[in-house]
Structure formats: C-alpha cells, structure tokens
Amino acid sequence: MNEENQVVDEEAQEVAGMFGAMSAVSIVYGIILIIISMLIFMNTKETYVVVTTLLGVYLIVKGFIDFFAVFNSRNPHRGITLFVSIVSFLAGLFVISAPLFATVAVATFVIYVLGFTFILGGIMSFKESIPMAIVSIAIGLLMFFFTKETAVAFAWFIALLLLLGGVFTIVFGAAAKNTARELKG
C-alpha cells in the first residue's frame, strides 16, 4: 500500500510540475499579447507597417523554400509551384522595398474585398431579411467610402481581441498555478 501511495504522489508531483510550467508560459504569453494589443492601440499605422514587413519576409522565405523544394519534388505540378515560388519571392521583395506603399495597398485591397463581400451578401440575402440585407449593404458601402477609418477600426478590433486573449491567458495561467499548488499539497 505504501508503494502505491508513493507512485500516486510521484505522479501528482509530475502533473503539478507540468501545471507549474504551463502557468508560467501562459502568464508570459498573456503579458506579451497585452503588450502587443497596447502597441496596436497606440501606434496603429506603425503596426500595419510592421505586419506588412513581416508578411514580406514570410513571402521571401516561402518563395525561397518552395523554389528549392521544386527540384526535390516529383509533383506533376512543379511548373506551377516554381512559378508561385518566384512570384512569392518577388512580392516579398516588393513589400520589403516599399513597406508603406505595400501596407496601404494590402489594407485597401482587403477592405475593398470585405466591402464587396458585405454588399454581395446583402444583395443575396434580400429575400430572407430586408433589414439585415440593408445593414450588410450599408456596412459594405461604409467600408468603400471610409477605407482609412475601416483600417483603423479593424486594427483596434484585432487589438481588443489580443487584449482579451491576453487577460484570459493570464487568468488561465493563474488557475494552472493554483492547481499546481494544490497538487503539491
């Protein structure tokens, strides 16, 4: 019976250690999310440029990796993959060389696509719900006419989600820390 208690106690200590490590990581991650959200709230334009620049770096790396992967692949669509890798690489170079222009172009394109989606969705849902269709079309038109404001609102929405995610992650980390303490007894 004593050996069984010792095994159970060792397992509880191991689980407590996992919860302890998980709590530390969660709290640090939550703090990072909150800091990022505050940076977005305070420096929306600069944040867009940083994100666009990171997108450019990603496209360069992806294009480079895909380019060399084509030569080690037996994929019948290697020509298309090669073409996409070159386009990715060149797009990444463009984004890195003109980050401000690329930021405005990407944000404007995304907002126009979303605006068009709202308008089209509103038109298609006109038979089901006239009020919802009108609201959807109005949102789409607002996105077209107030592009800069939509971009800022979108950034603030992302920042709010990051802030809430950070708070919830810290709360989870604190709960995991309490569980670890209880398991250690």
Taking only the tens of pLDDT, the chain with its 185 residues reads 567 666 667 777 777 777 777 888 888 888 988 988 888 888 877 777 887 888 888 889 988 888 888 887 777 778 888 898 899 999 989 888 888 888 788 788 888 988 999 999 999 888 888 889 899 999 999 998 988 888 888 888 888 988 999 999 999 988 888 888 887 76
- pLDDT value at residue 116: 92
**Burial of residue 111, with CB atoms counted within 10 A of its CB: 0-12 exposed, 13-18 middle, 19 or more buried:** buried
- pLDDT value at residue 179: 83
**Burial of residue 64, with CB atoms counted within 10 A of its CB: 0-12 exposed, 13-18 middle, 19 or more buried:** middle
- pLDDT value at residue 138: 93
Two structure tokens written together for 178: 């309490």
Q: Where are the alpha helices (DSSP H) in 78-146?
A: 78-97, 99-124, 130-145
- pLDDT value at residue 39: 84
Distance (Å, rounded) from C-alpha 177 to C-alpha 85?
46
Output helix, strand, coil percentages for the chain, rounded to the nearest 5: 90, 0, 10
Contacting residues for 81 by C-beta, under 8 A, at least 6 apart: 66, 69, 70, 73, 75
Two structure tokens written together for 50: 């940083």
- pLDDT value at residue 7: 61
Helix (H, G, I), strand (E, B) or coil at 184: helix
Quote the pTM value: 0.61
- pLDDT value at residue 98: 87
- pLDDT value at residue 8: 62
Q: Can you say how many angstroms the Cα of residue 12 is from the centroid of all Cα atoms in its chain?
A: 36
Two structure tokens written together for 174: 């604190």
- pLDDT value at residue 106: 78
Give which of 23, 1, 3, 2 is closest to 184, Cα–Cα: 23
- pLDDT value at residue 36: 83
Give which of 145, 137, 183 is closest to 23, Cα–Cα: 183
